[in-house]
Amino acid sequence: MHQKGRSMVEMLGVLAIIGVLSAGGLAGYSKAMYQHRLNKQAEQIGYILDNSAVLHSQGIDLSAVPYYAKNFFNSLGVIPKEMVKDNSAFVYDSFQNQVLLYRNRSCETCAYYFGLRVQIKKDAYDICVNLYKQAVPRADFLLETLFVKYNENVSGQHTNYVTRNALKTLTINRMQELCSVCDDASTCHFFFIWS
């Protein structure tokens, strides 16, 4: 007898092969999108830091900048437009982490300093390493970086300071060690500080 079409077993075999290939493709796509977001975040943070360094080098009077400095920096084109989502004091990186630009001083007689704080709630380790990678080539501009783990269940926090001189020699292994304190169960903040 001459058979037309395919048997049920053959069709199930084809569907199984398609399913395996699709699962592999989806995993590869997810990994590529995650890497794209890390690269985009690096571009966004680098843009802010580089433009802030230009302002600093031009000697622009920054004495009137308010504590929440988003509007000031945004008016000068320091912040990428895609990071401005609302009228709050925050802008948002490619992971939708809150990013705060601020001006402060540590004491009444101290000089003002500026900061960029990234609040990390998910993928903290990878994002932390990514942010350190942005700080290292800008070590001459930055005073220091801070990586702070806030533990909401226990009072206290864990803080890693890295000064300008230490940033200049920071290795990938040291970055990974510094970032290992934060996990997705806690909130971590990464600070870039400059004067």
In order of 31, 34, 35, 127, 130, the CA distances from 28 in angstroms are 5, 10, 11, 20, 20
Residue 1 belongs to some domain of the structure:
no
Q: What is the pLDDT of residue 107?
A: 56
Instruction: Tell me the CATH number at 103.
Output: 3.30.1690.10
- Bridge partners (DSSP) of residue 192 are 116, 145
Structural domain including 55 reads: 8-194
Residue 135 belongs to some domain of the structure:
yes
Residue 36 belongs to some domain of the structure:
yes
- The continuous run of DSSP H or E covering 58 comes out as helix 8-58
Q: What is the pTM of this model?
A: 0.82
Q: What is the pLDDT of residue 155?
A: 55
In order of 21, 46, 115, 124, the CA distances from 38 in angstroms are 26, 12, 21, 11
Residue 2 belongs to some domain of the structure:
no
Q: Count how many domains the chain has.
A: 1
Q: Tell me the mean pLDDT per 10 residues along the chain, length 195.
A: 74 83 78 94 95 85 83 93 94 94 71 84 87 92 84 66 86 89 76 86
Residue 113 belongs to some domain of the structure:
yes
